[in-house]
């Protein structure tokens, strides 16, 4: 395919952004079908949701790119349209912000029934910060409960869109779909043409691993052009690579032999290891250095958990799997970790709980890695009496009270859009989660937008599920980083006969420590196996024991053969057994096995 005729004025790069389940991927698939990019046999399917986890969960996890060629009826010219379908969940905001860097415009899709939701606002402001032209698209207008006029008014009140600017469509039935691409060509600006005569400069904004061709990089050509066979340099590492292949995604990889100014496509640079593909890096022609592009802000991990292989022999394969997975998801962070109960593993950072679930599911489905994950924690900032400051993401590393001065926990600013009738229940839920109300706004259609300040530790557990439960599924949540605040937290340690189990330690707020300790100790009693001696299960915070359960010893009936005689004979046998049990307890060692840890995690999920 020859793309050299598509000059920047006939190129449009745009993404589709929206709240969860407002119809982004359905709309993307419809546009691909309209332009003849998709084969007839896959017409109607969610084509851009390619991962198995996306098909099973019905959500978009990974931003996907596709190039369409569209003939505009207004001027009769062919246009090269690069579409990027983005995720809608708050956990994948990093994917959205990264995708917007490769675009000049965005379609903001809003459900005609639900209207403007929390993530609609978050994605709009991401596009605004990136300097993009935003086109509002009201979807699902075919539904009986659709209220288009109300949604138009919301878009005007919240974002300042004129009602006539909105494109009305139904991605499911195809109503109004033909109006979208002419609006994209007319209202979204083309890429800058100033760099046509300059040497090649490209932005690496995504990558993935192909088992036959190695690392494949998705690039936006900012200046100049790149051709097959040329040698390029990665500005970040200084490594030199030869371009073995380049082309566009139409809808799969289609070789073009060259990419030109303003175009978005893939290159195969023959990278030897997956670590070499750094998202946000700048490529340029060898011996023709350029000023590197700003790149992306590093993703800020919000949730941390220990991830361990079920079999210790799988440690190295798990490490290789993580490296390949991080090619397609650079927002994960990993570091080595060792646990007495679970062996060698990794301390992993994720953007949220859903992100963590998706990563673990992808490890299993795409790489065949069955793993054990510890309960998620958040990073705490600890100020020691020596003046030193530490960031603690593993509870086992939390400082002891004698060297700890103060602890600061991460805070988030949460935005909740909800129907008026659920106001009382949701405010109570927020207060129970140690939330502090900061703002209260009334929206169109009997809805409210609340702004709360929350400790992140309260949000990442089961807050979202509870929010959906108390609002019958109508409330939506978005949150952003809000720094750190001093907090009265304690480390809850689990002791088995006085020996600490590091993998079960947790950092919790003092007001909730007692209930947390009781729940954990009670579940642990059902998991720890009975021994020939008594086992004491305790939860401690500092020098205080918060909760305790006792597993009695297995005991043989030593008096079974005593058919008569003095009571002292029976007592002598029982005392002898008691001494043996005491000696056994002092010498015996109780360890929580890997199977026991798995049972404990399963019982935790069942309780939730």
Q: Which residues are annotated as a binding site for GTP?
A: 18-25, 85-89, 139-142
Write the CB contacts of 212 (distance below 8 Å, at least 6 apart in sequence): none
Lay out the sheet containing 231-234: strands in order across. Answer: 240-242, 231-234, 282-285, 201-210, 214-223, 264-268, 245-249, 253-255
For residue 354, what is the enclosing H or E element?
helix 353-367
Whole-angstrom distance, CA of residue 212 vs CA of residue 270: 11
What single-letter DSSP state applies at residue 115?
B
Q: Terminal CA-to-CA distance of the chain, rounded, Å?
A: 54
What single-letter DSSP state applies at residue 170?
B
Between the CA of residue 301 and those of 345, 353, 549, what are the distances in Å? 18, 11, 36
Tokens of 220: 């936006």
Write the CB contacts of 216 (distance below 8 Å, at least 6 apart in sequence): 207, 208, 209, 210, 253, 266, 267, 268
Residue 152's nearest CA partner among 141, 164, 140 is 164
Do residues 202 and 218 touch, judged by C-beta distance below 8 A? Answer: no
Whole-angstrom distance, CA of residue 598 vs CA of residue 66: 42
Between the CA of residue 315 and those of 252, 312, 336, 372, what are the distances in Å? 34, 6, 10, 12
Known binding positions: 18-25, 85-89, 139-142
- Which letter, b or e, does each residue of 299-323 get, where b requires 16 or more Cβ atoms within 10 Å of its Cβ? bebbbbbbbbbbeeebeeebeebbe
Do residues 321 and 351 touch, judged by C-beta distance below 8 A? Answer: no
For residue 149, what is the enclosing H or E element?
helix 148-159
Write the CB contacts of 61 (distance below 8 Å, at least 6 apart in sequence): 51, 53, 54, 87, 92, 95, 358
Tokens of 553: 């010893």
Residue 537's nearest CA partner among 554, 551, 557, 556 is 551
389: left (phi over 0), alpha (psi -120 to 50) or beta: beta
Whole-angstrom distance, CA of residue 593 vs CA of residue 340: 9
Q: What is the DSSP string of 578-601?
A: HHHHHHHHHH------HHHHHHHH
Whole-angstrom distance, CA of residue 490 vs CA of residue 506: 8
Write the CB contacts of 543 (distance below 8 Å, at least 6 apart in sequence): none
């Amino acid at each position: 395919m020859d793309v050299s005729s598509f000059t920047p004025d006939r190129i449009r790069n745009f993404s589709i952004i929206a709240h969860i389940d407002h119809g982004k991927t359905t709309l993307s698939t419809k546009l691909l079908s309209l332009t003849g990019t998709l084969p007839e046999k896959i017409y109607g399917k969610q084509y851009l949701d390619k991962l198995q986890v996306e098909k099973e969960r019905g959500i978009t996890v990974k931003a996907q790119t596709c190039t369409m060629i569209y003939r505009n009826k207004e001027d009769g010219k062919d246009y090269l349209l690069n579409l990027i379908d983005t995720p809608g969940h708050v956990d994948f905001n990093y994917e959205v912000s990264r995708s917007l860097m490769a675009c000049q415009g965005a379609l903001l899709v809003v459900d005609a029934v639900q209207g403007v939701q929390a993530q609609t606002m978050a994605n709009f402001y991401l596009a605004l910060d990136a300097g993009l032209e935003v086109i509002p698209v009201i979807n699902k207008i075919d539904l009986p409960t659709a209220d288009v006029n109300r949604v138009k008014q919301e878009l005007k009140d919240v974002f300042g869109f004129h009602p006539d600017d909105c494109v009305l469509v139904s991605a499911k039935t195809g109503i109004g779909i033909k109006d979208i691409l002419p609006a994209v060509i007319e209202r979204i600006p083309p890429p800058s043409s100033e760099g046509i005569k300059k040497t090649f400069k490209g932005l690496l904004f995504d990558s993935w691993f192909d088992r036959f061709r190695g690392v494949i990089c998705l690039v936006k050509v900012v200046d100049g052009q790149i051709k097959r066979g040329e040698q390029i340099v990665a500005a970040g590492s200084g490594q030199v690579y030869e371009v073995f292949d380049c082309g566009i995604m139409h809808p799969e990889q289609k070789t073009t032999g060259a990419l030109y100014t303003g175009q978005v496509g893939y290159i195969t640079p023959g990278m030897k290891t997956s670590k070499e593909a750094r998202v946000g890096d700048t490529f340029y022609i060898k011996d023709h250095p350029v000023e590197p592009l700003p790149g992306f802000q590093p993703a800020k991990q919000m949730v941390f958990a220990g991830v361990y292989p079920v079999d210790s022999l799988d440690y190295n394969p798990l490490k290789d799997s993580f490296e390949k997975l991080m090619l397609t998801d650079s927002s994960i962070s990993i570091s080595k970790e060792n646990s007495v109960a679970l062996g060698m593993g990794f301390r992993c950072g994720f953007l949220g709980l859903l992100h963590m679930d998706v990563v673990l599911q992808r490890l299993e489905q795409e790489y065949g890695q069955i793993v054990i994950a510890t309960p998620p924690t958040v990073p705490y900032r600890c100020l020691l009496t020596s003046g030193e400051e530490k960031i603690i993401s593993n509870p086992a590393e939390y400082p002891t009270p004698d060297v700890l001065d103060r602890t600061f926990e991460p805070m988030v600013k949460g935005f909740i859009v909800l129907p008026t009738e659920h106001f009382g229940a949701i405010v109570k839920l927020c207060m129970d989660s140690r939330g502090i109300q900061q703002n209260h706004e009334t929206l169109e259609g009997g809805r409210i937008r609340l702004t709360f300040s929350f400790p992140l530790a309260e949000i990442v557990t089961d807050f979202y599920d509870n929010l959906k439960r108390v609002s019958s599924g109508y409330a939506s949540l978005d949150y952003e980083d809000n720094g750190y605040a001093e907090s009265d937290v304690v480390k809850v340690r689990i002791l088995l006969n006085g020996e600490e189990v590091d993998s079960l330690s947790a950092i919790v707020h003092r007001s909730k420590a007692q209930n947390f300790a009781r729940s954990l100790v009670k579940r642990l009693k059902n998991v720890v196996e009975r021994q020939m001696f008594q086992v004491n299960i305790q939860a401690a915070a500092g020098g205080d024991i918060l909760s305790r359960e006792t597993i009695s010893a297995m005991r043989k009936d030593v008096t079974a053969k005593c058919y008569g005689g003095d009571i002292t004979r029976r007592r002598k046998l029982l005392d002898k057994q008691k001494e043996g049990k005491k000696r056994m307890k002092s010498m015996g060692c109780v360890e929580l096995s890997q199977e026991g840890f798995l049972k404990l995690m399963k019982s935790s999920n069942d309780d939730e």
